[in-house]
Structure 1
Amino acid sequence: MKQLLSLITLLIPTITFASIDEVIEENFQPVSHAVTQVVFYSVPIGPKNVPIVLIVLLLGALFFTLYFKFANIRLLGVAIKATKGTYDELDHAYEEGESIEKIIDVAESDKKRKITPVVGEVTHFQALTAALSATVGLGNIAGVAVAIALGGPGAIIWMILAGFLGMSTKLVEATLGVKYREVGADGKIYGGPMYYLKKGLKEKNLAGLGKVLAVMYAIFVVGGSFGGGNMFQSNQATAQFMSLTGLESGFAFGLVLAALVGVVIIGGIKRIGKVTEKIVPFMGILFVGASLVIIFKNYDMIPNAAVQIWQGAFGNNALLGGVVGVMIVGFQRAAFSNEAGVGSASIAHAAVKTKFPASEGIVASIGPFVDTVVICTMTALVIVITNLKNNLFEYANLEGSNVIMNGTGQKLGGVDLTSAAFDSAIPHFSIVLTIAVILFAFSTMLSWSYYGIQGWSYLFGKSKLADTTYKVLFLFIIIVGASSSLNSVVEFSDSMIFAMVFPNVLGLMILAPKAKHEIKRYLTAIKHKVED
């Protein structure tokens, strides 16, 4: 805390320099563009160039959906019950890693025995909200707006499909995250792709590949925490605050936001979980509630909106040069929003209190459904309906730009577009949305700071110095994001998030049988639940 206050004290005098935003943007933009060119290397498919990373992501999600026999839909009821804690008693009936045969044997005979305590730092619900806080937020509010602005209304169809497929990927990620986690001497949990890539692939006699992929992922997750988990959040929260208040420099707001985030992340995952379990449900209900009010208020516009969405997704005259173009935009923004295949959420889920890795995997599968299928759809419907009614902007092909112009020549980018749509239907709702955006950005940064510090600890060791160094850097990056342009921030954020896909999806496909075994174990325990 002393180091944080010292950093803020050193930076306060620079607030008076009006050109600081321009200086930061001038130095950051070239770096952002260079990284983007590497990560989003594309190959021609039909009329469009498709990034290889998207192909990997989608083929992986489709494979998991088929391999696990549509567990994303089949186990949804189990997921809801597990989140509520219905099956928590199983953790007190069995030992860690007991075989399926032993589970059946215990259920039938040995009902009273001494067992080891349950390892973990947070509950199923807290782990889910911590993970959701990193995904439910500006990816839904600003990311959907960007997708529709660039790809037209049809992009939402592909976002929804990506959400359903992503549920299967999250199932595998979180299951493996818990299975291969490590527990520090102080009781802290260390988990996520770094650990299941290294330890899981070693079990498959691929120790060398596992070490390489684990280091790659650790580097990328640190970059992702600085990009999509930090800069994009602070940038859009600042944009909304500046729009409402007329503040000219994002630097000052970024400084305040950094101080608030710093106070929470010092407490680690336990404090993060306690904060996110309150913020995420409240803001999610508020945002979805407001969306439903607008949709029902304009129910007569729903058929026209549905036609626009369907035609935009499958029509020959799709706005980005064909179905493939709209598909790319929808899938890319969905992946950025729900992070399925990115592996980051498995870091939060690894901290759960359980002896059954699949229990958290099944809980985690709810994430993309809530994030993309429900909340993103709400946002999209509001934007399409209000645009039909009020003609706020023209759908346009603006590749390379995430900013569009409304009818009066005012720039609308990301969250500004969503704000304009809500404001046109509910007067002065932009004030409420500003609060929602800031809180969503805040909760997302909290979770991503935890993800990043896990990668940082994997690379530089689990020491207090490494911990403090990362946190200071993370807080500084908040200020950079608040002072940069949307284009540069989106480029860098997308690049870092999607770079994590390559090592993660490869590892997940190799380790899928391990996850399948854990799912069978957990479902067996539920079936043969020990009675008191």
Structure 2
Amino acid sequence: MENLFVTIAAINDKINSIVWGIPMLVLIISTGVYMTVRTNFFQVTKAKYVNQETFFAIFTKKSVTKTDDKKSISQFQALSTALAATIGTGNIAGVASAITIGGPGAVFWMWVSAFFGMMTNYSENVLGIFYRRKNDRNEWSGGAMYYIEQGLKEKAGFRHVAKPLAVTFSIFCVLASFGIGNMTQVNSIAGALNGSFGIKPIVTGITIAVISSLVIVGGIKRIGQVTEKIVPFMALAYILGTIFILINNFNQIPEVFASIFKGAFGFDAVAGGISGTLIKQAVTMGFKRGVFSNEAGLGSSVMVHSSSDVKEPVIQGMWGIFEVFFDTIIVCTLTAFTVLSTGALETGLAGVPLVSAAFSHGFGDLAGKFVSLAILLFAFSTVLGWSFYGTKATEYLFGTKYTIVYKVLFIIFIVVGSTMSLDLAWNISDTLNGLMAIPNLIGVLLLSGTVVNITKDYVNRNIKNVKSKKEPLLSAYEDINAEHSKYVFENN
């Protein structure tokens, strides 16, 4: 049996090196660059409007945080659930690993991946809302599998591959949900609580399984209600903790910036030259951890964004921009600055222990407990978010009546994940996560014209205050018909 696991691990390592190799990272980033250019740098030129319709709207528009639709969730709940799935152990351990392997320069390339990833996530959400459907329970069902199937079958030459690509994405999503969205997260929680509080892993697993079942079985409405309370609290607590550390090490901030930019371009302080190896490590780890953290390009968070009660695809697209910005530019950056400003990198530690060492500069002996509780909240919320992704993928593959089977299995695997060694599970999960990106990016790139047309239409009607001569593009509450489809695709 041991030889079997060794063989599986070896095969997976080879697949993983291909899936998450330079070509894949280039594909993901280039998709973001392509959509950024095609939308005229929307995340920059419309930044003020994006903020007004997202972050500031949380405090000024009641319709953003509340919904009267019993079968959908509010825009803020959709964001909270998406952030619940993306803000996880990757924001702590992932960032620490990126810096350990790729050096401080990896942080710069994380920023680059996030900047362009904003428009990848924007495009996914626009397509998600545009192509979503009501299921037999009158709930919204959307995601990469729907815009891949519905969108590509309208494209000449792609009709016959549309369904297979959508099915492939859904299968990888279901499998990944048990790994990266379940067992690996719960295992991180169990390990952290056992190390800091002496709680046995099996106790942690059973407890999380029971609590999760009360939320997961309730569907997206209950998940949204829970995440909109957990996510703001956990994010605020963690951000305040990192800011406290940074205030204590305020004089180190200029040096941190200098180390990031020097490392990003391979300047070797010792040799006084430029190192190609350092550049490659910094770029690879920065892009890889940036993508892992915000999931832009994987086609995952669009599934929950599609459950929003919003009517305009562009509105939910802007929430996608904010999601990536908050996850990577805010949370990941604060983690990186905490590690780099405290000198913890010199301890030789990696992952969670490295972050705990950094927090010890401000929290002393309480650092380990603080980081453990942060991992508890981050990872638990990730479990809730990914349970929904797996549910929607299962619904697409087998129908709504089989989603309860998936939910039961998902809850059982929570207990399993808390008690087993998951090095192999982590690696396989990474591979499956990456494989989700391939059909999704194909869909986004081939449907880029649709995104551009929808964006132009919205800008003309709502931002430029110029009345469009053409009819507004399809509202999310209308059926897609041939006339609208012709209008959307004629400029592709």
Question: When the two structures are superposed, what TM-score results if normalisation uses the length of structure 2?
Answer: 0.86
1:51 deviation in Å? Answer: 3.7
Secondary structure of 1:365 counterpart: helix
Could you say if the C-alpha distance between residues 26 and 276 of structure 1 is closer, same or farther in structure 2, counting changes exceeding 3 Å? Answer: farther
Could you say if the C-alpha distance between residues 430 and 210 of structure 1 is closer, same or farther in structure 2, counting changes exceeding 3 Å? Answer: same
* Aligned equivalent of 1:298: 249
1:50 deviation in Å? Answer: 3.8
Could you say if the C-alpha distance between residues 320 and 121 of structure 1 is closer, same or farther in structure 2, counting changes exceeding 3 Å? Answer: farther
Could you say if the C-alpha distance between residues 32 and 352 of structure 1 is closer, same or farther in structure 2, counting changes exceeding 3 Å? Answer: farther
1:392 deviation in Å? Answer: 5.1
Could you say if the C-alpha distance between residues 521 and 197 of structure 1 is closer, same or farther in structure 2, counting changes exceeding 3 Å? Answer: same
Question: When the two structures are superposed, what TM-score results if normalisation uses the length of structure 1?
Answer: 0.79
For the Cα contact (< 8 Å) 1:229–1:445, is it kept in 2? yes
Q: Does 1:336 align with 2:292?
A: yes
Secondary structure of 1:352 counterpart: coil
Cα distance in 1 for residues equivalent to 2:70 and 2:148: 21
Of 149, 154, 158, 2:109 maps to 158
Cα distance in 2 for residues equivalent to 1:441 and 1:185: 32
Of 327, 332, 348, 1:376 maps to 332
For the Cα contact (< 8 Å) 1:154–1:308, is it kept in 2? yes
Q: Does 1:37 align with 2:17?
A: no
Residue by residue over 1:232-252, the C-alpha shift from the partner in whole angstroms, topping out at 9 and shown as x without a partner, is 3112212211110234x5344
* Aligned equivalent of 2:395: 457
Residue by residue over 1:20-72, the C-alpha shift from the partner in whole angstroms, topping out at 9 and shown as x without a partner, is xxx9x998675455334224317xxxxxx944321221121111111111112
In the alignment, residue 456 of structure 2 is paired with which amino acid?
Answer: K
* Aligned equivalent of 1:504: 440
Unmatched runs of 5 consecutive residues or more in structure 1: 1-22, 43-48, 91-116, 395-405, 407-411
1:199 deviation in Å? Answer: 0.3
Aligned alpha-carbon RMSD (Å): 2.6
* Aligned equivalent of 1:100: none
1:138 deviation in Å? Answer: 1.5
Could you say if the C-alpha distance between residues 481 and 327 of structure 1 is closer, same or farther in structure 2, counting changes exceeding 3 Å? Answer: farther
In the alignment, residue 409 of structure 2 is paired with which amino acid?
Answer: L
Q: Matches of residues 338-487 of structure 1 in structure 2 within 5 Å?
A: 338-386=294-342, 388=343, 393-394=347-348, 406=349, 412=350, 414-427=351-364, 428-463=366-401, 466-485=402-421, 487=423
For the Cα contact (< 8 Å) 2:101–2:281, is it kept in 1? no
Cα distance in 1 for residues equivalent to 2:264 and 2:151: 39
* Aligned equivalent of 1:492: 428
* Aligned equivalent of 1:98: none
In the alignment, residue 321 of structure 2 is paired with which amino acid?
Answer: S
Could you say if the C-alpha distance between residues 223 and 163 of structure 1 is closer, same or farther in structure 2, counting changes exceeding 3 Å? Answer: same
For the Cα contact (< 8 Å) 2:102–2:278, is it kept in 1? no
For the Cα contact (< 8 Å) 1:32–1:489, is it kept in 2? no
For the Cα contact (< 8 Å) 1:162–1:335, is it kept in 2? yes
Of 301, 312, 321, 2:277 maps to 321
Cα distance in 2 for residues equivalent to 1:189 and 1:26: 46
Cα distance in 2 for residues equivalent to 1:311 and 1:478: 42
Cα distance in 2 for residues equivalent to 1:35 and 1:503: 20
* Aligned equivalent of 1:242: 194
In the alignment, residue 254 of structure 2 is paired with which amino acid?
Answer: P
Q: Does 1:265 align with 2:219?
A: no
1:81 deviation in Å? Answer: 2.5
- Shifted more, 316-325 versus 374-383: the winner is 316-325
Residue by residue over 1:134-192, the C-alpha shift from the partner in whole angstroms, topping out at 9 and shown as x without a partner, is 11222211210111122122111111111111000001000100111110232211110
Of 168, 173, 178, 1:226 maps to 178
Cα distance in 1 for residues equivalent to 2:165 and 2:367: 46
For the Cα contact (< 8 Å) 1:80–1:363, is it kept in 2? no
Secondary structure of 1:434 counterpart: helix
1:431 deviation in Å? Answer: 2.0
Cα distance in 2 for residues equivalent to 1:157 and 1:250: 37
Cα distance in 1 for residues equivalent to 2:120 and 2:17: 21
- Shifted more, 52-61 versus 338-347: the winner is 52-61
Could you say if the C-alpha distance between residues 118 and 244 of structure 1 is closer, same or farther in structure 2, counting changes exceeding 3 Å? Answer: closer
* Aligned equivalent of 1:13: none
* Aligned equivalent of 1:78: 49
1:306 deviation in Å? Answer: 2.3
How many residues end up aligned between the 2 structures?
453
Could you say if the C-alpha distance between residues 250 and 319 of structure 1 is closer, same or farther in structure 2, counting changes exceeding 3 Å? Answer: farther
Of 305, 309, 322, 2:260 maps to 309
In the alignment, residue 195 of structure 2 is paired with which amino acid?
Answer: S
Residue by residue over 1:95-134, the C-alpha shift from the partner in whole angstroms, topping out at 9 and shown as x without a partner, is xxxxxxxxxxxxxxxxxxxxxx989601111111111111
For the Cα contact (< 8 Å) 1:127–1:273, is it kept in 2? yes
For the Cα contact (< 8 Å) 1:225–1:449, is it kept in 2? yes
For the Cα contact (< 8 Å) 1:151–1:319, is it kept in 2? no
Residue by residue over 1:207-248, the C-alpha shift from the partner in whole angstroms, topping out at 9 and shown as x without a partner, is 21111110110011112212221223112212211110234x
Unmatched runs of 5 consecutive residues or more in structure 2: 269-273, 468-492
Cα distance in 2 for residues equivalent to 1:159 and 1:368: 11
Residue by residue over 1:488-520, the C-alpha shift from the partner in whole angstroms, topping out at 9 and shown as x without a partner, is 343123212111111001110000111112222
Cα distance in 1 for residues equivalent to 2:266 and 2:23: 24
Could you say if the C-alpha distance between residues 120 and 160 of structure 1 is closer, same or farther in structure 2, counting changes exceeding 3 Å? Answer: farther
Cα distance in 1 for residues equivalent to 2:405 and 2:9: 23
* Aligned equivalent of 2:167: 215
1:456 deviation in Å? Answer: 1.1
Q: Matches of residues 84-99 of structure 1 in structure 2 within 5 Å?
A: 84=57
For the Cα contact (< 8 Å) 2:234–2:378, is it kept in 1? yes
* Aligned equivalent of 2:481: none
